[in-house]
């Protein structure tokens, strides 16, 4: 069946090439007009389908973003209420050997806090070996 479909497709493509060649020789302006009309109709159909499907995808995306924000806000507010606030530091340390003050670089604040990544492990067939013949 695949071979017969290949032959049919090849013959259709061959006839199309022959038709385009003869049309190019006999009426080049008509060929250009036909190609432009075909392209314009294709663009209109493409715009109709993309605009029709976009609102449903966009609404699903907005709903997912809202749920994600709600989840993360509740997660971080629970952490903040459970922990006591640390005492505020001035950030300045006196260097007594030289007699002047210098600012202390807070290493914990300079490091970025890694966000929690929510990943799911999908168990596969680990014990089954592939056929290596």
Specify the pLDDT at position 128.
65
Q: Is residue 116 in a domain? A: no
10, pLDDT greater than 80: yes
20, pLDDT greater than 80: yes
Q: Is residue 125 in a domain? A: no
Q: Is residue 119 in a domain? A: no
pLDDT in tens, 86-106: 555 555 555 555 555 555 545
Q: Which structural domain range is residue 46 located in?
A: 2-81
pLDDT in tens, 23-73: 999 999 999 999 999 999 999 999 988 877 766 667 788 888 898 888 888
Specify the pLDDT at position 63.
86
Distance CA 13, CA 21 (A): 12
Q: Is residue 93 within 8 Å of 104, Cβ to Cβ? A: yes
Specify the pLDDT at position 19.
93
Q: Is residue 100 in a domain? A: no
For 17, 34, 92, the CA distances from 8, given in Å and listed in that order, are 14, 25, 82
Q: Is residue 16 in a domain? A: yes
């Amino acid at each position: 069946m695949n071979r017969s479909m290949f032959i049919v497709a090849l013959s259709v493509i061959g006839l199309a090439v022959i038709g385009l060649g003869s049309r190019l020789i006999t009426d080049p302006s008509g060929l250009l007009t036909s190609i432009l009309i075909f392209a314009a109709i294709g663009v209109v159909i493409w715009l109709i389908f993309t605009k029709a499907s976009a609102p449903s995808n966009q609404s699903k995306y907005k709903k997912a973003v809202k749920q994600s924000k709600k989840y993360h806000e509740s997660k971080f507010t629970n952490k903040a209420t459970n922990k006591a606030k640390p005492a505020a530091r001035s950030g300045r340390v006196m260097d007594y050997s030289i007699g002047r003050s210098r600012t202390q670089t807070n290493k914990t604040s300079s490091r970025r806090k890694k966000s929690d990544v929510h990943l799911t492990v999908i168990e596969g067939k680990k014990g089954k070996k592939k056929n290596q013949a």
